[in-house]
Amino acid sequence: MKQPAPRKASRLASLASATSLLAVVSCYGTLGAVALLSVVGVTVHLNEILMTRIITGVLAVALLGLAYSYRLHRHGGPLLLGLAAAVLLLWVFYGRYSRPLEALGFVGLIAASVWDFRAKHLACPSATREGTSLCP
């Protein structure tokens, strides 16, 4: 079975962390920008349905990145935490909204990404990075 090149694997392995941060920024960053603009007198109307769909899409990509990283380090904790955070966020977005649960979901997603990052680096010592390993 042909293994992907280490450089490509490195980019794919970084997908979970990057998209998790993108999900948080797309939610809270957008709200922060709108709040800042309203302070200076600019009114911006956001389409909440579109924002929810964008964040859901980014969340799905983050989960795919966590699943890919699981293939590298075989530690299920980050993926399970990411799934739990995703379920919580989807409940908040499409079910009953709760600001504390939304924050908890995003914190869980970031914690899963950090845990995943650490698991990758523990599973891939620097000696194997030079070979044809899938490690980033």
* Residue 132 pLDDT: 42
Domain locations in the chain? 6-125
**Side-chain half-sphere of 48: how many Cα atoms within 13 Å?**
3
* Residue 103 pLDDT: 92
97-106, Cβ contacts within 8 angstroms, sequence gap of 24 or more: 102/27, 106/23, 106/24, 106/27, 106/28
In order along its 136 residues, the chain shows pLDDT tens digits of 455 455 555 566 677 778 887 888 888 787 788 888 888 888 888 888 988 898 899 899 889 889 888 888 889 999 999 999 999 999 999 999 999 999 999 999 999 989 998 888 888 765 344 444 455 5
| pTM score, whole prediction | 0.75
The number of angstroms, rounded, from the C-alpha of 91 to the middle of its chain's C-alpha atoms is: 17
